[in-house]
Amino acid sequence: MVEALTSGHHGVLWLVPLLPFAAAGLLALLPDKRGRLASLVVIGALAGSLVVAACALIGVLHPADGGGVMRSASSFVWFAIGDEPLRIGLLLDPLGAGMGAMVAFVALLILLYSRGYMADDRRFGRFFTFLSLFCGAMLLAVYSNSLLLLFVAWELVGLASYLLIGFYFKKPAAAAAAQKAFITTRIGDMAFFIGMIWLNSRAGTLLFYDGGNGLLESGALASLAGATTFGGITLSAAASLLILIGAMGKSGQVPLHTWLPDAMEGPTPVSALIHAATMVAAGVFLVARTHPIFAVGGEAGIALAATAWIGAITALYASLVAVAQHDIKRILAYSTVSQLGFMMVALGTGGVAAAMLHLVAHALFKALLFLSAGSVIHGCGGEQDIRRMGGLRKAMPLTFATYAVGMMALSGFPFVFSGFWSKEAVFHSAKSWPGGNGPFLLVVLAACLTAFYMTRQALLVFFGTPRDPRIHAHESPLPMTLPLVVLATATMLLSLVGTPAWPWFERWLDGTRAAFDPAALTKPGTTGLIVLSLVIVTAGVTAAWRVYGITAPRDASAPDPLASKTGRLWRVFEHAMSFNALYRKAVIGPLAFIAGGIDALERMVFHRSMANGERILKDVGRSAGRIDESAINPGFDRLCGGIEHQASSTSKSQSGRPQAGLRAIGLATAACIALYLWLSSR
**Amino acid letter at 193?**
F
Measured from the CB atom, the residue of 629 and 644 that comes closer to another protein is: 644
Residue-wise DSSP of 612-673:
HHHHHHHHHHHHH-SHIIIIIHHHHHHHHHHHHHHHHHHHHT----HHHHHHHHHHHHHHHH
Measured from the CB atom, the residue of 517 and 629 that comes closer to another protein is: 629
Residue 501's SS3 state is coil
Over its C-alpha atoms, the chain yields an Rg (Å, rounded) of 30
Under 8 Å CB-to-CB from 21, ≥6 apart: which residues?
Answer: 132, 133, 136, 137, 140
Instruction: Provide the minimum distance between the beta carbon of 518 and another protein in the complex, in angstroms, as a whole number.
Output: 49
Directed axis angle between helix 94-117 and helix 124-143, to 10°? 170
Task: Find the angle CA(461)-CA(465)-CA(468) to the nearest 5 degrees.
Answer: 75
Q: Do 358 and 423 touch, CB atoms closer than 8 A? A: yes
Instruction: Provide the minimum distance between the beta carbon of 167 and another protein in the complex, in angstroms, as a whole number.
Output: 11
Instruction: Provide the minimum distance between the beta carbon of 661 and another protein in the complex, in angstroms, as a whole number.
Output: 3
Q: Do 361 and 446 touch, CB atoms closer than 8 A? A: no
Under 8 Å CB-to-CB from 220, ≥6 apart: which residues?
Answer: 203, 205, 213, 214
Instruction: Provide the minimum distance between the beta carbon of 168 and another protein in the complex, in angstroms, as a whole number.
Output: 10
Measured from the CB atom, the residue of 244 and 487 that comes closer to another protein is: 244
Instruction: Provide the minimum distance between the beta carbon of 423 and another protein in the complex, in angstroms, as a whole number.
Output: 35
Measured from the CB atom, the residue of 515 and 647 that comes closer to another protein is: 647
Instruction: Provide the minimum distance between the beta carbon of 11 and another protein in the complex, in angstroms, as a whole number.
Output: 18
Measured from the CB atom, the residue of 586 and 667 that comes closer to another protein is: 667
Instruction: Provide the minimum distance between the beta carbon of 636 and another protein in the complex, in angstroms, as a whole number.
Output: 10
CA distances from 29 to 23, 24, 44, 133, 416 (A): 10, 9, 18, 13, 47
Instruction: Provide the minimum distance between the beta carbon of 473 and another protein in the complex, in angstroms, as a whole number.
Output: 31
Measured from the CB atom, the residue of 67 and 172 that comes closer to another protein is: 172
Instruction: Provide the minimum distance between the beta carbon of 297 and another protein in the complex, in angstroms, as a whole number.
Output: 21
Q: Do 262 and 327 touch, CB atoms closer than 8 A? A: no
Instruction: Provide the minimum distance between the beta carbon of 667 and another protein in the complex, in angstroms, as a whole number.
Output: 4
Instruction: Provide the minimum distance between the beta carbon of 205 and another protein in the complex, in angstroms, as a whole number.
Output: 11
Measured from the CB atom, the residue of 24 and 345 that comes closer to another protein is: 24
Rounded CA-CA distance 261/265 in Å is: 9
Rounded CA-CA distance 34/129 in Å is: 12
Rounded CA-CA distance 208/215 in Å is: 5
CA-CA-CA-CA dihedral for 169, 173, 178, 180, to nearest 10? 150
Distance between the two ends of the chain, CA-based, in angstroms? Answer: 63
Instruction: Provide the minimum distance between the beta carbon of 242 and another protein in the complex, in angstroms, as a whole number.
Output: 10
How far, in whole angstroms, is CA 223 from its chain's centroid? 31
Rounded CA-CA distance 581/100 in Å is: 38
Which letter, b or e, does each residue of 403-438 get, where b requires 16 or more Cβ atoms within 10 Å of its Cβ? bbbbbbbbbbbeeebbbbbbbbbbbbbbbebebeee
Measured from the CB atom, the residue of 229 and 538 that comes closer to another protein is: 229
Measured from the CB atom, the residue of 80 and 521 that comes closer to another protein is: 80
Residue 227's SS3 state is coil
Measured from the CB atom, the residue of 126 and 326 that comes closer to another protein is: 126
Measured from the CB atom, the residue of 528 and 635 that comes closer to another protein is: 635
Measured from the CB atom, the residue of 1 and 598 that comes closer to another protein is: 598
